Amino acid sequence: MYFEKGFSAIKIASELEVNRNTINQDIKFLRSDITKKDQIKPAIWLLEQKEHLEQQKDRLIELLETTKEFEQRLRVERIILDIENKIINLVIKMTDFNSVAYEYDPGPEFDEDVTLIVKDLVLNGKTEKDLFLQNEIILKARELFKCDYTHAKKIFSRMNDFGLKEFVNEDGKGYDLARFGILNQIITETELDKRNKAHRQSNKVEPYWNKIGKNFIDKDK
């Protein structure tokens, strides 16, 4: 259902009447398994290239042992050095390959996480704040889901899939999560208006209490 019909984890869980977390785990496993299979071919190619270079190097070393002419020995040594550099570069590529192996791009299993983050930042804040920095979004993800930085960054990447970059502020600092949330039907205009009214009402009450506090202070003097 996830791969063939593009259903989200939430919809699949609802259709099958099972826990959403179970669906998320299954999706992550399947995506990871597919990624592993896709990465086998480049891994084999790197190993084969390394093996061929090492065979060339061995043949050149044998040639060097029987070569007495200085200039010819120098040319062979340079070729050997060049091959060794190529082998080193291949080893570096293989190391990089292993470091990113079995990673996969975030998919629909992160959609509900995106929803919770946007709602919490936009609707549950103490001010009418709509602009948030990338670090604030990632920090909120780690706070809500008790996850590591890598997982939080994947959630942020999923937000980019929804067009987050289109909502960068004019100064290039921060994202307008309110507009982002409304466009992606995560929050509604009504919810945003309700938040704004609540904050304005709160701001009207606070000066009143501050005035009472000041009167008490004046009486004590």
Query: Residue 4: what pLDDT?
Result: 46
CB neighbour class for 27 (10 Å; exposed up to 12, middle 13-18, buried from 19): buried
* pLDDT at residue 200 tops 90: no
Query: Residue 32: what pLDDT?
Result: 56
Query: Residue 162: what pLDDT?
Result: 87
**What is the average pLDDT value for the chain, to the nearest integer?**
76
Query: What mean pLDDT do residues 55-79 have?
Result: 87
* pLDDT at residue 54 tops 90: no
Query: Residue 181: what pLDDT?
Result: 94
The DSSP result for 126-189, as a single string, is SS---EE-HHHHHHHHHHHH---HHHHHHHHHHHHHTTGGGGB-TTS--EEHHHHHHHTTSS-H
* pLDDT at residue 196 tops 80: yes
* pLDDT at residue 46 tops 90: no
Query: Residue 118: what pLDDT?
Result: 96
Query: Residue 122: what pLDDT?
Result: 94
pTM score, whole prediction: 0.49
Query: What mean pLDDT do residues 181-196 have?
Result: 92
